[in-house]
Structure 1
Amino acid sequence: MSDLPIPRPRRRALLSGAFALGAGAVLGTALPGTAGAAAGAALAGPVISGCVAWGAREPSSPVKLLATGPQKIIVHHTATPNSTDYSQAHAFGLSRSIQNDHMDARGWIDSGQHFTISRGGWITEGRHSSAAALAAGVQQVESAHCTGQNTVAVGIENEGTYTSVDPRSAQYAKLVDLCAYICSQYGLRAYQIFGHRDFNNTECPGDRLYALLPQLRADVAARIGGSPEWGGWPVARLGDSGERIRSLQYLLASRGASIVADGSFGPATESAVRAFQTTNRAGVDGVAGNQTWHQLAHPLARGTQGDAVKALQGQLVARGQTLVVDGSFGPGTEAGVRAFQTSAGLPADGVADARTWSRLLA
C-alpha cells in the first residue's frame, strides 16, 4: 500500500462520536435559509474530496448528526512527516492511514477529524457526512478531534509537523479557504478559530502553526468581514476573590461540580478546577487559565437556563446593570448583554460567546 504510516500521535487524547453517509468531491455553497446565508453573502466553497473519493472504510457504527451547528473551528496538525509528495494520490493515502489508525489503533468508529488538508493543498473529508453537513450549513457531525469540544467545534487536520517550520503556502491558502467557507456556512466569525492547545494539554498544532492563527483569523475576516480579534482569558488561582471567582464557581457548577459560588477561590474551588481539567484533558494545575476558561465558557443565548447564566448575570450586575441573578436568560439578560457588547465595542447580538465572556471576565 502507498498509505503514509501514521504514528500514534503523542498530542492526542480524543473522544469518539457516532452517522454515516459517503460523499464524493464536494464544492460547497451556502443554501438559502442556512446560517451561512443569513450571515451575509455566501462564499463559494473549496473542493472537498469526500470519503467515497479517497476510499474510506465504512464507520464501525453510525456516525451521529447533531441538531445544531458548531460554535468554533479548531486547527490541528497531524504530527507526521512533512512530506514532499504533494499529489492528490498522497492526500488520499494520508486520509486512509489516518482512518486506519483512528479505527484500528484507537477503536474509534471513524476518522476523528471533520476535514484534512494535505501538504499539497488537497482537502479531504474526514469523518463520514462532514462535507454534506457543511454544505447544508445547519448541523454538524459529532467528532473525536478535541476532548470537551467534539459536539461544538469543527476539527481541521493539517498534514505535517509544525513545531519549527511553517505550513506550505499552498496548504495555508486552502486552510484559509476552508475556514472562510465554514464560517460563511455556519454564521461563525473569524475570531472563533482556535488551536487544539487552547483546549487540551497538547503541543498541537505546533508552535509555528499556532503562531499563525492571528494571521489566519485576519485572512478569514478579510473574506467574511468583521473583526478577527477576540481577546484573551484572565488567570484565577488559589487566594483570589471577587465576581470573576464567583463566575468561575457558577461555571464549574454548571458542569457538575458541587461547589458554592461565594466568590472566594479556596481549596474546594481549586479541587473543582483540577477535576474539571482532568476530565477535559487540560493542563492539571488547579489554576483557571486559557484551557480552563475555553472549556468552561460556552456561548449563552436567550432561552438558556442554569448556573452558567447566573455567572453571566452576576458579571452584568457587577457592571451596574439591574438584573435578577436567577439563572434564566430572558429579555432582560439579553438586553444587558447587548448593552455590554455595545459599551465594549462588540457586535450587539445579545449572545454571550467567547469574546463577550473574555471581555466580561477581564
Structure 2
Amino acid sequence: MWSRRLVLGVLVLPLALLVFGDGPASRAPETELATGPRPPRGLPQPAMVSRRDWHADEKLVGEGPHYTGAARAVFVHHTGNPNDYDCADAPELIRAVQRDHIRQDGWDDIGYNFLVDRCGTIYEGRAGGVGRAVLGAHTKGFNVDTVGIAAIGNFGEGVAVPKPMLDALVELAAWKLRPGADPLGSVDLISTNDESRFDEGQVASLHVISGHRDSFETRCPGDALYALLPELRERAAKLRATVPGHSAAARLRPSL
C-alpha cells in the first residue's frame, strides 16, 4: 500500500505540466491599485478557507497584491490533479500550486483568486482580500476586471463533476461578479497579451462565465466541467435574481 506522502506526490505531479498555460497578471493602472472593498452585492459571502488556514507560504510571495476593477467576468479552470484525493489534503495540493506558480512560472503568488475542492470547500487564492478586486494571474490576456476560480481535479471527458463542487462554483461566481453583471450574458474584454487566443488590443466577446479554453489554447477546465458551464450560468443567474437590484441582470430562461 502506498504511503500517504507518496500518494500526495502523485497527486501534485500533474500541476507542473498544467500551470504553464496560465499567463502572468498584467499590472493594473496606478489609479486602480488602491481599489477598496466592493459595494455590497446583496448576496452573503460564501464560507471559505483563508490563506492563513490553508497555510499559504507567505515567504514565497513577491510583490504585494495589485487591484483592478470589480469582476466583469469569471474564468473557470481546473488544476489537473487526480480526482480521488482526500479533501483533507486539499490545502497541501493548493500549496503545491502556489509553489509552482511562484518558482516555476515566476509569478508573485498563486495565480487563481479562488479554488474549490471536490467536497465543495472554497479556498482563498491570491492574497489581497476576498471581497476586493484582486488582480490575478489566471487567464493570460484577460486578468483585468476578471476573477479566476480553479476546481481542484481533472475534469476531462466522461469524468463526473462532484455536485458539492459545482454548487460551490455557482455560489462563488454569483457572489463575486460585480453588480449588474449578467451570468447569462456576454462581455467585451480587451486582450492584453498576444499569447491568448486574441491579439493584444483585440476586443474579445466572451461569456460572463467562461472556461479558460475560451480565451487560451488549452483543454482547461476539461470537457466535463466545460459542458456544465451553461448550468452554472443558469444557476448563478437565478441566485442573483433573488437579490433586489440584480433582477435586470438575471434574465432567466423559461423553465423546461
1:150 is aligned to 2:143: yes
Q: CA deviation at 1:152?
A: 2.1
Report the Cα distance in structure 2 between the residues aligned to 1:50 and 1:83, rounded to whole angstroms: 23
For 1:105, the equivalent position in structure 2 comes to 104
**1:8-23 counterparts in 2 under 5 A?**
8-10=16-18, 12-16=21-25
Report the Cα distance in structure 2 between the residues aligned to 1:186 and 1:91, rounded to whole angstroms: 31
1:197 is aligned to 2:198: no
Higher relative contact order (CA 8 A, sep 6+): 2
**1:60-209 counterparts in 2 under 5 A?**
60-66=62-68, 68-87=69-88, 90-133=89-132, 140-164=133-157, 165-183=159-177, 186-191=179-184, 192-209=208-225
**1:300-311 counterparts in 2 under 5 A?**
none
Cα distance, 1:52–1:132 mapped onto 2, change above 3 Å: farther
Report the Cα distance in structure 1 between the residues aligned to 2:47 and 2:27, rounded to whole angstroms: 25
1:227 is aligned to 2:242: no
Superposed CA deviations along residues 278-319 of structure 1, whole A, max 9, x for unmatched, are: xxxxxxxxxxxxxxxxxxxxxxxxxxxxxxxxxxxxxxxxxx
Higher-helix-fraction structure: 1
The question of whether the paired residues in 2 share the 8 Å contact of 1:85 and 1:120 is answered with no
Cα distance, 1:53–1:10 mapped onto 2, change above 3 Å: closer
1:51 alignment partner, SS class? coil
Larger radius of gyration: 1
The question of whether the paired residues in 2 share the 8 Å contact of 1:180 and 1:220 is answered with yes
Cα distance, 1:186–1:93 mapped onto 2, change above 3 Å: farther
What code does the residue aligned with 2:50 have?
Answer: G
What code does the residue aligned with 2:77 have?
Answer: H
Q: CA deviation at 1:16?
A: 3.5
Normalised by the length of structure 2, the TM-score is 0.72
Q: CA RMSD in A?
A: 2.3
In structure 1, the gaps of 5 or more residues are 20-30, 134-139, 230-362
User: Structure 1: which 4+ aligned runs deviate by more than 4 Å?
Assistant: 1-4
Higher-strand-fraction structure: 2
The question of whether the paired residues in 2 share the 8 Å contact of 1:65 and 1:141 is answered with yes
In structure 2, the gaps of 5 or more residues are 29-36, 185-207, 242-249
Report the Cα distance in structure 1 between the residues aligned to 2:252 and 2:80, rounded to whole angstroms: 27
Q: CA deviation at 1:170?
A: 1.1
For 1:212, the equivalent position in structure 2 comes to 228
Normalised by the length of structure 1, the TM-score is 0.52
2:120 alignment partner, SS class? coil
Count how many residue pairs are aligned between Structure 1 and Structure 2: 202
Report the Cα distance in structure 1 between the residues aligned to 2:26 and 2:124, rounded to whole angstroms: 16
The question of whether the paired residues in 2 share the 8 Å contact of 1:16 and 1:109 is answered with no
